[in-house]
Amino acid sequence: MGVSKKFSASAIRQAYHARLRDFGENYVQEFAGKWPELSDLSDARFHLIGHLQSNKARTACELFSVIQTVDSPKLLQRLDASAKELDRQVEVLLEIKLSEEPAKAGADAREIPDLLEAAHSCANLKVTGLMTMPPWSEDAEHSRPYFKRLAELARRYQLGDLSMGMSNDFEVAIEEGATIIRVGTALFGKRPPPKESVSPV
């Protein structure tokens, strides 16, 4: 999957014409601005890989085929209600926090049974796997224990998809069983700098 956050709709279209079909976006509002230029790419799949606030659940269900960052029963229920209103089936992954970093989002691994139980009553959602983000390191081997742990959890709960690994460590993630890797810099290059706001004269 190509992580296209901060890149333009034209860059996404260029990658699509190069046969990339799965794209990851971090921000609902940012992608909503690109969507009108991309809605004709009928076989492209757009994944939300950034934190989702429950008040943006309906918009997320409208825009994304897959939401990889579900971490609470409340969010599951909000997404299910939105998907039902839109008459859509939405694929979701459970984001699991395996590191001790305070800034990292995700549910504790011990919460997986509760999340799966809540998902059973969500007729418009399909939980297909787990996602995690290990602490960033230049040494990909530092990510391996986190990937190995996520793979063990997926086997335990009989979930098929494992979203793990980025440009700096995706080879190790693949060795540990990743089915989805989230590659941005290695595909699109360095992200463009934010546009500076110009004060009116």
The model's pLDDT over 2-55, given as tens digits with 9 standing for 90+, comes to 999 999 999 999 999 999 999 999 999 999 999 999 999 989 999 999 999 999
Task: Name the residue type at position 174.
Answer: I
97-116 pLDDT per residue, tens = 999 888 788 999 999 999 99
Q: Is it true that domain 2-188 has CATH number 3.20.20.10?
A: yes
51-64 pLDDT per residue, tens = 999 999 999 999 99
Mean pLDDT for the stretch of residues 119-135: 97
CA distances from residue 129 to 57, 60, 123, 164, 199 in whole angstroms, order as listed: 19, 18, 17, 11, 46
Write down the pLDDT at residue 197.
44
pLDDT-derived band at 149, boundaries 50, 70, 90 = very high
Taking alpha carbons only, the member of 32, 84, 88 closest to residue 65 is 88
Rounded distance, CA 2 to CA 185, Å?
Answer: 9
Mean pLDDT for the stretch of residues 167-174: 96
Q: Which residue has the tokens 């659940």?
A: 57
Mean pLDDT for the stretch of residues 69-88: 97
What sign for the dihedral angle of Cα 35, 69, 67, 155? Answer: positive
In the chain, where the domains are located: 2-188
DSSP reduced 3-state for 46:
strand
**69-105 burial: b if 16+ Cβ within 10 Å, else e:** bbbbbebbbbbbebbeeeeeebbbbbbbbbbeeeeee
pLDDT above 90 covers a percentage of the chain that reads 89
Write down the pLDDT at residue 198.
43
Long-range contacts of 75-83 (CB under 8 A, 24+ apart): 76/115, 76/118, 76/119, 76/122, 76/125, 77/118, 77/122, 78/54, 79/122, 79/124, 79/125, 80/121, 80/122, 80/123, 80/124, 80/125, 81/57, 82/57, 82/58, 83/124, 83/125
